[in-house]
Amino acid sequence: MKENDKIIKVLAYDGKVSIICAKTTNLVEEARKIHDLTPTTTAVLGRVLTMASIMGSELKNKEDNITIQIDGKGPVGKIVVVSNNNAKVKGYMQNPLVELPLNNLGKIDVGGAVGRNGYINIIKDIGLKDPYIGITPIVSGEIAEDFTKYFADSEQKPTAIALGVLVNKDGTKSSGGYRLNLMPDATEDIITKLEENINKAGSISSMLSENLSLEDIAKKVTGDNNLVIVENNIEPQYECDCSKEKFEKGLISLGKRELENIIKEDDKIETVCQFCNKKYVFNKKYIEELLKEMRD
Ligand SMILES: [Zn+2]
């Protein structure tokens, strides 16, 4: 049986450094199947889904969610990813069938696919009147670097992020990431140790494909063997919460006139969920009933 995906939260150096580590191989493979992704777009969407699951795992309440929108004007087009507070994620991109040649480092060209000419928007809905919105320009399109800048600029948090997806035409071999935060009392000495160990550790996707546990990975990237595990039972998953009711609300929001016009021309309305490709069909009779309940 395949090992479940997992997120762990850990403190290192007596609480002066906090780390969230995620293994997301199964959920990225699920996304690949749903959207028929190529190796390039699996790497792109996989990295964003992993980042979203890490950020989602920090939300406090059940109704909280976070939406990441990326538009770098590259060939994949717009990317949208959502996570709830339990790291249940979903996402899509405009052009999932894009496949690019490897870049000059012999790696999947995530930056080239995403593009470097645009912005990342982060929308956190945590039950306040207005959601929190953070905007940051894209640096490289490689995602981890872009989010490092986001955390530095918008949240004033010194952060190190790694995201990686190992994929070939047969599917996702491994996927995951980590985000490491420095607390205000982290010393220069600790920062130097972290830099050395992050460099030595190698890529997150290769550590995962060597079957290192998330705890082992956290030890390796921090160089601290006395970690305190804060949480280790979060299971990120690809999960869409769409329903016929939600799409019905969308139809109602079009307004009575517009709905009447559509149903004059067609005998049914078909909607497809962009996140999971599920199709919802509303026949003429259903729409007529809906129209009766709507005000002019
Ligand atoms: Zn759906």
pLDDT tens track, the chain, 296 positions: 578 999 999 999 999 999 999 999 999 999 999 999 999 999 999 999 999 999 999 999 999 999 999 999 999 999 999 999 999 999 999 999 999 999 999 999 999 999 999 999 999 999 888 899 999 999 999 999 999 999 998 888 889 999 999 998 899 999 999 999 999 999 999 999 999 999 999 999 999 999 999 999 999 999 999 999 999 999 999 999 999 999 999 999 989 998 988 888 888 999 999 999 999 999 999 999 989 888 77
Q: Which residues contact 245 (CB under 8 A, 6 or more apart)?
A: none
Question: For residue 145, what is the enclosing H or E element?
Answer: helix 144-154
CA nearest neighbour of 53 among 92, 18, 81, 93: 81
Residue 153 C-alpha to ligand 1 middle, in angstroms?
33
Other CB atoms within a 10 A radius of the CB of residue 151 amount to 20
Residue 110 C-alpha to ligand 1 middle, in angstroms?
25
Which residue reads 């002066």 in tokens?
16
CATH domain 244-293 topology: CBS domain Like (3.90.1280)
CB under 5 Å of ion ligand 1: residues? 240, 242, 273, 275-276, 278
Per-domain residue ranges of the chain: 6-238, 244-293
Residue 239 C-alpha to ligand 1 middle, in angstroms?
8
Residue 139 C-alpha to ligand 1 middle, in angstroms?
31
Report whether CATH 3.40.50.300 matches the domain 6-238.
no
Residue 46 C-alpha to ligand 1 middle, in angstroms?
18
Residue 13 C-alpha to ligand 1 middle, in angstroms?
42
